[in-house]
Chain A
Amino acid sequence: MMQHLPALQVVLPLLGAVFCAFMPRGAWAGAIALAVSWIMPVISGLLLAQVLQTGVISYHVGGWPPPMGIEYRVDILSAFILMLVSVMGAILMPYARLSVAKEISARNQPYFYCMYLLCMTGLLGITITGDAFNVFVFLEVSSLSTYVLIALGRDRRGLLAAYQYLVIGSIGATLYVIGIGLLYSITGTLNLVDIASKLQTIGATAPVLIALGFLITGISLKLALFPLHVWLPNAYTYAPSVATIFLAGTATKVAVYLLLRIIFTVYGVGTTSDGTPLSDIFIVLSVLAMFGASIVACFQDNVKRMLAYSSVAQIGYITLGIAILNKTGLTGGISHLFNHAIMKAALFMVIGGIFYRIGSANIANLAGIGRRMPLTMAAFVVAGLSIIGAPGTAGFISKWYLVSGAMEKGWWWLGLLIVASSVLSVVYIGRVVEAAYFQTPNGEAEKATDMPASMLLPTLVLAAACIWFGFDTRLTADIAAQAASYLLGGAQ
């Protein structure tokens, strides 16, 4: 049993998805999804513990040894991301029941849970597999189910958002396959570690670098790196709340993981930093994202859309950490990946709860809601402070590492830019807080009360986690630091 944990991590949600699709009622499918989502963290927790004790786990699918067979490879970074994705799912599922019942028609509810579990399968699969083509298959499993998740809501604009994401997402995935195809015809292997060792003898020839370009562009479309983020705001805004929470907490994070894998494990820091302007490009785009998307966020009236643009900005911080290319910066990037998942999920949960009560996420309808939904808005304030990076919250820790990483390189201007862009997030979070606490309630907001306990508890847990990880960094920054030194050390 124990040695098959890596396979179970992927197979279990896949089986769950099949069962969900045949359930006649949403509640039954929800129960299956809940059961699966609660088993997942146990498996990923065991895997993480095992990796911390004994090092890399290599699981041979079907008993075929790599590089011929497909290998599932769990190292410190993938165990960390597996943990993140499965824990997000486990916290989200109790919340999902009421929100899904309200926002999705009864006929479609079983399919919603089915797609949620399929998306989970894909994301966990991308993280765990050590085979480049297998990554593509899981990438498409997660992407296709994501398109359906976005389109399942009652808002017809969700359909258009899903369609646009489908076109952009498929181009991204195809660019990724082109890159893998080139690498395969150069090296003759698909195992990521095997490709890495073959590339060391081949060196940074032109086709190898062209393949890198295709891979990076394809993955950047998936992780919504500015200016390839155009699909994200619409998708997050018009998707059902639960889908938005799940995607914001996991999908872009897994794409960042894939980027780390390609840059550090396959190509190695030497190739990517010396021979190419990759680091410079990423710094410019990240800074543009931090400022551009934050400024746009300040002018949004729909809070969901505001938070979506904020996500684009926060992804900028994560890629900035990668681009700084030293241990401290990378630690900041990886821990921000974790922290941002927690705090953005908390924020979207609050907005989902408000939508549940008053049927709107517009800032004008949020007037005075802080007095009617005190606990809900308290969670928003805490998670919002964490987005801003206030000391004592999780966001502060990762931004601290980012600024120190920039300082270590002597890039004091970059440190200033990080701090300056955080001020922008004060503006957009502040707008919501101002409306919620300093205006008098009107319309629907007047009768609203705190969201039901099954939705409130997960939200409060995440909000509490924002503070907890601001003080206890053993699970975030410490593991991120280990992962960073592992990645920078050539990562074999």
Chain B
Amino acid sequence: MAILTEVIQHYNQWVTIFLMVAGLYIVIARGNMIKTLVGLSLFQTSVYLLYLSPGKILGGTPPILDKAFSVYSNPLPHVLILTAIVVGVATLALGLALVVRINEAYGTIEEDEIVDMDKDGHA
């Protein structure tokens, strides 16, 4: 029972870990390049939660100085994650652009088929 309360109390961490592992699994298990990128994106997104959820302090207000409040949430993780989101979008955009080019060059986006094609052509 104690374990269960422990788990429930830290449910945000469990969500993070689930998303992280699910994303990584998709990257490893899927040969379709778009699906791999989806997994990669999920993996990167899970980190946002890792940063953001400890930044929220129970009973804390947005960090605007006011005499009525003394407990504030930490604003820095949001700023960091804003940067990380931009990086994630750039990575995804570049990845998709590469997939488009690969599709033009090979006519497929299945990784194993492409590896086979190169083997035939250049062995």
Residues of A whose CB lies within 8 Å of any CB of B are 133, 136-137, 140, 144, 147-148, 151, 156-157, 159-160, 162-163, 166-167, 170-171, 174, 177-178, 181-182, 184-185, 190
Contact = CB atoms under 8 A, between A and B. Distances in A.
24 contacts: A133-B83, A136-B87, A137-B83, A140-B87, A140-B91, A147-B94, A147-B98, A156-B102, A156-B105, A157-B118, A157-B122, A159-B98, A159-B105, A160-B114, A163-B99, A163-B102, A166-B94, A166-B95, A167-B27, A167-B37, A170-B40, A170-B91, A174-B47, A182-B50
Contacts of A190: 80
A181 B44 contact: no
Contacts of B118: 157, 160
Interface residues of B, number: 33
Given A133-B80, A178-B47, A171 B27 contact: yes
Contacts of A156: 102, 105-106
B7 interface: no
Given A137-B83, A162-B98, A171 B50 contact: no
A144 B36 CA distance: 17
A171 B40 contact: yes
B19 to A, nearest CB: 12
Determine the main DSSP class of A at the interface with B: helix
A269 B107 CA distance: 52
A137 to B, nearest CB: 6
Interface in B18-49: 20, 24, 27, 33, 36-37, 40, 43-44, 47
Give the interface SS of chain B, mostly helix, strand, loop or mixed. Answer: helix
Nearest to A134: B83
Contacts of B15: none
B91 A177 contact: no
Interface in B75-123: 77, 80, 83-84, 87, 90-91, 94-95, 98-99, 101-102, 105-106, 111, 114-115, 118, 122
A184 B101 contact: no
B101 A159 contact: yes
A157 B111 CA distance: 12
Contacts of A185: 54
B114 to A, nearest CB: 6
A166 B43 CA distance: 14
Contact of A170 (B44, B77, B99, B115): B44
B106 to A, nearest CB: 7
Contacts of A171: 24, 27, 40, 43
Given A144-B94, A156-B106, A159-B105, A137 B87 contact: yes
A181 B47 contact: yes
B51 interface: yes
Of B24, B40, B118, most buried by chain A (CB within 10 Å of CB) is: B40
Nearest to B95: A166
A159 B40 contact: no
Nearest to A185: B54
B95 A163 contact: yes
